[in-house]
Amino acid sequence: MSESAPTPRAPSEGDHRIEHIELDEATILWRNADIEQERRIAIYDLIEENTFRPVRSAERGATGPYRLHLSVTDGRLVLTIADTDETLLEELVLGLARFRRAIKDYFAICDSYYQAIRKATPAEIETIDMARRAIHNRAAETLVERLEGKVETDFATARRLFTLICVLHIKG
């Protein structure tokens, strides 16, 4: 059985993906080893495979790939999007009110999950992990909705971005 190479994109389509992502370290006040591992995995997976097309920038001719900086300012998520030369393309600001419950629930279930993997049965761990995935999936769907008309992205990218949004909310 032979593997086929991915179909290359036509030059006019561009390379609409994130090539580099950075979190505002001043926003992150505290994180433990489990959270740091989640952050590393989310960033690695995101860079490996993602779909990210900032609509206004693309309409002005930006073809990607993009550099993304995430921060939280005054209770709002700020997505600073630049090109590979670090030239600012646009800045998106999203209210986080619709995410507050999901972030709180996600932290609570993650705490239960981290405790369970140290001492629970496999069945208990699986139950908690299913709940964790459900919360994560609902939040990713909300993020896709909030980005509609601003950034075209896929579900997997939104899931990873939600993980990073959670990391930005850790207060200790």
Cα–Cα separations (whole angstroms), residue 63 to 16, 25, 78, 120, 146: 6, 28, 21, 48, 22
**What's the CA gap between 43 and 68, in Å, rounded?**
11
pLDDT digits (tens, 9 = 90+) for 39-76: 889 899 999 999 999 999 999 999 999 999 999 988 89
Q: What is the pLDDT of residue 13?
A: 66
Name the stretches of the chain with pLDDT < 70. Answer: 1-13, 27-31, 170-172
Q: What pTM value is reported for the model?
A: 0.85
